[in-house]
Structure 1
Amino acid sequence: MNPYAGLGGSVALKGSDGSHTRDQAMRLGAQPRALDRMHRALAPLQGAAVELYGYAGDMGQAAVSELTLPFHVIGAAATNPSGDADTRQLAVALQAQGVDLIVFAGGDGTARIVADAIGTRVPVMGVPAGVKIHSGVYAITPEAAGRVLLNLAQGHWAPLVDAEVRDIDEAAFRQGRVRARHYADMRVPLEDDAIQQVKNAGAAVDELAQLDVAAEVVERMDDDTLYLLGPGSTTRAVMSELGLEATLLGVDIVHSGQCIVADATERDILNAMASHSGPTVMIVTAIGGQGHILGRGNQQFSPQIVRQVARQNLWVIATTEKLKTLAGRPLWVDTNDPQLDMQLVGLMPVICGYHQEVLYPVGGEHVAG
């Protein structure tokens, strides 16, 4: 487990890879979330006939401290705080232990390290906890991961398939383009409604359709409302239509046709909302191929912010071509608050063109209790 995965999301650092970024995120007040998300994924296994293995402390044992699950400590991180080398060594140790399945929490950076260590030799299940999650080795939510794990523990079979491990192409990113690059494959138990698809970053972008969406959004905007625009090429088209520069992979705050905060953190958004007397609208787009609208690359939109904005002021924008890449799968939310996620489930309007809107389902895992 990477206990620092996703640390940079709420403070707009775009990721948590490397000790410098991790330390910077901590100084900015970011709170680790990987332990809680791994806990949620493992909780359904209570009472099942399973044996868990991992490192002591935050790299495994802490995630089961409040669960009645047998856990075998097979070592500990060599460094404190733990780093990439510890993740790699743990993956190798788990393979040597002869485990049936390696469950890891993190993002694309963590998936790359695990893939480097074990390749396709041991099946894996990724619990999404990072900022950027383009890879196809992760479940759509921690609860979805738990459902797959419980099915396996109860003796149900699942086909093993090779899934892509992807990460941001840094060369393209420096040129202002967001492109996920294929680095390796790992084997995952396939359940179509639980395992996320690889982000469809290679599909042709229908720029004219994006312009139609942007024109519709701008026509709906007024000077009394505060607008929070999340990352994505479609939201960037809205900023372009307004004549404003958009932040690559970030959240921009717009009021009265002006960008008042660029690359906003969670705290920036909360401060802007607190000082604004009118309504607030959040504008997000779906990740092509995956369908996530919250919880992937836009963790600045924390549960507290989403609750304050309210469901009716959540504007989802996506071209019809992007919706087609979902092949009938729903949109997904993973705010790190399961109860809030369930409140967002159901049919939601999606702006898909100029004066064009469709009702599209938002899916979610059922929350026990």
Structure 2
Amino acid sequence: MTMTHFKLGLVINPFAGIGGSVALKGSDGMQTRDKALALGATKLANSRTRLALQELLGVKDSVHIYTAGGEMGEALVAEMGFEHKVVYQQEAVQSEPEDTERCVHILQQQGVDLILFAGGDGTARNVCRIVGESLPVLGVPAGCKIHSGVYAVTPQAAGRVVAMMVNGEIVTLQEADVMDIDETLFRQGRVNARQYGEMRVPSELRYIQAVKMGGKESDELVLSDIAAHVIEFMDEHPERLFVMGSGSTVGFIMQELGLENTLLGVDIVQNRQVVAHDVMASTLLEYVSNVPVTLVITLIGGQGHIFGRGNQQISPEVLRKIGRDNLLLVATKSKLQGLKGKPLIADTGDIALDAHLAGMICVTTGYKDQVLYPIAKF
């Protein structure tokens, strides 16, 4: 039996994650957003929110959405046929952090049961600044930086948690950290994360992500073994392009090759030489379209994401060109054990591709040492 008139607050940061596909490593600030648009980036926050709201279509008659005008929520919920009320209108063409905060303040006053917001860590900070722990919130992951524990693991997962609440299922609330990093340092290859507060989130553990574990792998012997395995494979295939994903584990392999590495970006290597540094999605797609390619990736410690967090340059189009069989996933066993049995997560923004990627995959954990580990299907 469903609850009647579940009051859902919704606020979308339309520019969240816009810098990811064009290698800008964030979307904070008007100049960054303008540069991203000039480079051909597209706004994806509404499409990711759509994936979340699709999970509510079965209980649509029991949900009343309170939201902001235009791309901050109204356009999407009206198109999807949800009963809704616009409680805030932004003044400028581009929404700013202040718009998120003003909208959230009004949603508080409307007495909503839950605030669902789409964005990244910057958006979570905006929401936290107003809400704190006063009412439940849940994030739809749409940004480049997702270190905070207030986000669902995928947009669909966010929708399923809300649907559980609408259906009156018992969902425990827990406090979760709001984290963010300095984007300027991030673009220089340094991760400086700090806590900005806590918010209350529905703690359905299958669907809510952990706070990202920071720091580099400490076991250099294990990393050296992993690097030796990958480099040997590279030497056996000098004609192949190797797309080197972000993260310290992949960075260690580049270090062992004696090559300059974009720690928080994507580089392309062929025959032990870097052929392109810090590429954006469109450039990467051109490189991988006509030659054999291997994608070397790792996972985010504590969360398990392999796509959709900090590597939006590896777009669904790029992944389809490369193919699942050409993924070379690397991680120490301690990093896998840190997931405590939770599966890996592919959150590419393309439901069909995520389903295709799901299932068991080989993870290289040492020199000629591999384990099978599952990628979740949501």
TM-score, structure 2 length as denominator? 0.93
Q: Deviations over 1:311-358 (max 9, x none)?
A: 110111111111111000000000110000000000000001111100
**Distance in 2, Cα, partners of 1:364 & 1:195:** 15
**Distance in 2, Cα, partners of 1:259 & 1:204:** 24
Counterpart for residue 69 of structure 1: 82
Counterpart for residue 52 of structure 1: 65
Matching residue's letter, 2:79 = E
Residue 43 of structure 1, CA deviation? 1.7
Counterpart for residue 16 of structure 2: 5
2:298 is the alignment partner of 1:279: no
Change (3 A) 1:22 1:327: same
Counterpart for residue 193 of structure 1: 206
Q: 1:40 aligns with which of 16, 36, 51?
A: 51
Change (3 A) 1:174 1:40: closer
Structure 2 residue runs without a partner (length 5+): 1-11
Counterpart for residue 261 of structure 2: 246
Counterpart for residue 3 of structure 2: none
Contact kept in structure 1, 2:189 and 2:264, CA below 8 Å: no
2:111 is the alignment partner of 1:98: yes
SS at match of 1:125: strand
Matching residue's letter, 1:109 = G
Counterpart for residue 139 of structure 1: 152
Contact kept in structure 1, 2:217 and 2:249, CA below 8 Å: no
Matching residue's letter, 2:333 = T
Q: 1:297 aligns with which of 310, 314, 331?
A: 310
**Distance in 1, Cα, partners of 2:57 & 2:285:** 38
Counterpart for residue 38 of structure 2: 27
Matching residue's letter, 1:358 = V
SS at match of 2:13: coil
Residue 173 of structure 1, CA deviation? 4.3
Residue 257 of structure 1, CA deviation? 0.7
**Distance in 1, Cα, partners of 2:351 & 2:375:** 14
**Distance in 2, Cα, partners of 1:62 & 1:172:** 35
Matching residue's letter, 2:346 = V
**Distance in 1, Cα, partners of 2:75 & 2:282:** 28
Contact kept in structure 1, 2:65 and 2:83, CA below 8 Å: yes
Residue 98 of structure 1, CA deviation? 0.7
Q: Deviations over 1:83-102 (max 9, x none)?
A: 11101101111111110100
Contact kept in structure 2, 1:56 and 1:76, CA below 8 Å: yes
Contact kept in structure 2, 1:206 and 1:321, CA below 8 Å: no
2:242 is the alignment partner of 1:227: yes
Q: 1:312 aligns with which of 325, 332, 344?
A: 325
Identity %: 50
**Distance in 2, Cα, partners of 1:269 & 1:176:** 20
Matching residue's letter, 1:54 = T
**Distance in 1, Cα, partners of 2:82 & 2:349:** 23
Matching residue's letter, 2:311 = N
- Equivalenced residue count is 363
Q: Deviations over 1:293-321 (max 9, x none)?
A: 01110000110110110111011111111
Residue 181 of structure 1, CA deviation? 1.8
**Distance in 2, Cα, partners of 1:187 & 1:204:** 31
**Distance in 2, Cα, partners of 1:56 & 1:299:** 27
Change (3 A) 1:59 1:51: same
Matching residue's letter, 2:222 = A
Contact kept in structure 2, 1:79 and 1:86, CA below 8 Å: no
Counterpart for residue 126 of structure 2: 113
**Distance in 2, Cα, partners of 1:204 & 1:263:** 22
**Distance in 1, Cα, partners of 2:105 & 2:251:** 42
**Distance in 2, Cα, partners of 1:202 & 1:300:** 23
Counterpart for residue 5 of structure 2: none
Matching residue's letter, 1:257 = R
Matching residue's letter, 1:22 = R
Residue 190 of structure 1, CA deviation? 0.5
**Distance in 2, Cα, partners of 1:313 & 1:187:** 40
Counterpart for residue 6 of structure 2: none
Counterpart for residue 358 of structure 2: 345
2:348 is the alignment partner of 1:331: no
Matching residue's letter, 1:56 = G
**Distance in 1, Cα, partners of 2:277 & 2:58:** 48
Matching residue's letter, 2:57 = Q
Q: Deviations over 1:120-175 (max 9, x none)?
A: 11110100000111111101111111110111100001110000111124686477
**Distance in 2, Cα, partners of 1:312 & 1:89:** 47
Structure 1 residue runs without a partner (length 5+): none
**Distance in 1, Cα, partners of 2:44 & 2:187:** 28
Change (3 A) 1:172 1:73: closer
